[in-house]
Amino acid sequence: MSLIDAAREVRENAYAPYSNFKVGAAVRGRSGRVYSGCNVENVAYPEGTCAEAGAIAAMVAAGETELTEVAIIADSPHPVSPCGGCRQKLAEFGRHDTKVTLATIDGAVQETTIGALLPAGFSVEHMDRA
Ligand code: THU
């Protein structure tokens, strides 16, 4: 199954009763295995989690800490753009040139990279003097 198909499938399970905005995400680990996640909202709104966070958590729980590709899908007018926090989370486990596919359920697709989504991001080098 393609990464975008995995994201499309897991999106169906999103728990989004407050926003009604379901998101699906899938990441490919260095091993080639695919991990997927959906957004999980909460009545205490800040406790909700993004789809990307779920996919990354599944990858790490399976013992992988490197992702080689990302796909994110939602029912939006334009390919869904990950939030700032998720860009930082993706950067933790990917590289600048890691491919990210942003998509809508209508079939619109935008290809980008983690580096393009998070230019000049905070990284471990900034803590060199710590
Ligand atoms: N959301 C994601 O899961 N990923 C994104 O990239 C954008 C936003 C979720 C969070 C919340 O459950 C809903 O979409 C509306 O913000």
Query: pLDDT grade, residue 128 (50/70/90)?
Result: very high
Residue with the two structure tokens 């209508």: 106
Instruction: Output the CATH code of domain 3-127.
Output: 3.40.140.10
Q: Is 52 a catalytic residue?
A: yes
Question: What per-residue confidence (pLDDT) applies to 130?
Answer: 86
Point out the least confidently predicted range of 62-66, 91-95, 122-126. Answer: 122-126
Distance set, CA 127 to CA 6, 13, 108, 130 (Å): 36, 38, 39, 5
Residue from 10, 12, 18, 21 to probe ligand 1 pocket by mutation (most atoms less than 8 Å from CB) = 21
Q: What average pLDDT score do residues 119-125 get? A: 89
Q: Which of 58, 67, 86, 75 is nearest to 23 (CA)?
A: 75
Domains of the chain, by residue range, sit at 3-127
Q: Which of 23, 27, 1 is nearest to 13 (CA)?
A: 23
Residue 16 CB–ligand 1 contact under 6 Å: yes
d(CA 25, ligand 1 centre) in Å: 10
What percentage of the chain has pLDDT greater than the value 90?
91
Q: Is the pLDDT of residue 99 over 90?
A: yes
